[in-house]
Amino acid sequence: MTLTPPGTGRKPLHNGDSVLITRVWVAGVGMTPFGIHEAKSNHDLARWAAREALADAGAAVGDIQIAFYGSATHGPLEGQYSVGGQIAVRGLGMQKIPVYNVENACATGSTAISLAAMAIRAGEADIVLALGSEKMNIGDRERTMAVFNSGYDVSDPDALNRVLEQLGGVVDDSSVGMRSRFMDIYASWTRNHMRLHDTTQEHLAAVASKNHAHSVDNPRAHYRKPMTVEQVLAGRALSYPLTVPMCAPTTDGAAAAVLCSDEGLRKLSSARPVRLLASVIASGSDRDITTFDGHIAARAATLAYERACIGPEDIDVAEVHDATSFGEILQTEMLGLVPAGAGGPAAARGETSLGGRIPVNPSGGLESKGHPIGATGLGQVFELTEQLRGSAGPRQVEGARFAIAENGGGFHRGEEAAASIIILGGR
């Protein structure tokens, strides 16, 4: 007997005489507005998003059997190490259940989803909460920026400089002001891609302009102001070729999702579920870092497509990790949505805009929606769930059936340290 999971049904997930596939559903989602929340703590934001997700799923606090709580900066910026998740969900009234604290760089939120799905497939629970929250604007920008200085191998800082020089050469940045070290990392990646594929600064600006335009219709976005390509290019320079409007802001916010099995879904009669077809977490590998062959996201995407039994040609809408404009260019290529080297030109032609061939980041992406690290991956799932439900309003991608989210974090030996790919399908 062969069981074929939903998707296009082109490939079986497993073969054998006794195969049981536990389906996983996203039953409810919640998300605070992303931005600056001076009067809110990390826990305030987390509970806000969790309550929204519970209400959206038609779930009561007592229905949640396990919670996964993600935050990358809660400890260093607010001093809440170790038990942030237990405190956050106890404030919601959740007691006695297992609570797991998750940290996986900028892929923290999507990692919480992956762990929640594994718990369901393992039969540990029928209804699980994945929650991510971040309070990054604490009135001390230097402390906030310092958090990013731990997202690579701190035991050998000289190695980072050597890798960045290998990727992008040496540039004079003596006139550039305060920035995250990751802007230098992204700039080196970008210059390498420019060398390989003739990507231009105008291509980067086209991505940023597109995402700023998308965010105008997103009431939960950090920035909601359109910008032309010319305005993006004229923005304050960061590490060449990046300008400020090409980069994600420092953002506070939280997002959450209630995941469940078929059995759990039967308990949530008012839910509007979408299918979680695949959730893959990957780490890096030793390879030639001056090319993008064997890149971490491409490997993870290949596995996710196999598990979901679809291909990149089936994807209708995507949310990708555009911590900078180049992030979107790279990831559309790594996900197979455009050919290698075509990410920039595709954006300039409007292929990745709403109404284009494959809309990318209809939420506004990290560049405009914002990037509260622990909540970012869950925020992507919030947007894609809305898209698959047909309830994204002016941002709606017509007829969306399959959606993909890519969320990466950290840096190690020339590529992201962690990568997540999530594929969702309409019911």
Active site residues: 106, 371
Strand 418-425 to 402-409 pairing: antiparallel
Residue 82: Cβ-neighbour burial (10 angstroms; 0-12, 13-18, 19+): exposed
CB distance 212 to 245 below 8 Å: yes
CB distance 375 to 109 below 8 Å: yes
Residue 30's φ and ψ, nearest 5 degrees, are: -145, 150
CB distance 29 to 22 below 8 Å: no
In order of 213, 377, 387, the CA distances from 361 in angstroms are 11, 12, 11
Residue with tokens 């989210």: 405
Q: Name the token pair of 109.
A: 């939120």
In DSSP terms, 70 is beta-bridged to: 102, 132
Distance CA 389, CA 383 (A): 10
Residue 27: Cβ-neighbour burial (10 angstroms; 0-12, 13-18, 19+): buried
Q: Which DSSP symbol is given to 254?
A: E
CB distance 320 to 365 below 8 Å: yes
CA 110 to chain centre: 6
Among 363, 280, 349, which Cα is nearest to 318's?
Answer: 363
In DSSP terms, 260 is beta-bridged to: 25, 127
Residue with tokens 């892929």: 107
CA 143 to chain centre: 24
Question: Helix, strand, or coil here: 414?
Answer: coil
Question: Helix, strand, or coil here: 334?
Answer: helix
Question: Helix, strand, or coil here: 391?
Answer: coil
In DSSP terms, 422 is beta-bridged to: 279, 405
CA 14 to chain centre: 28
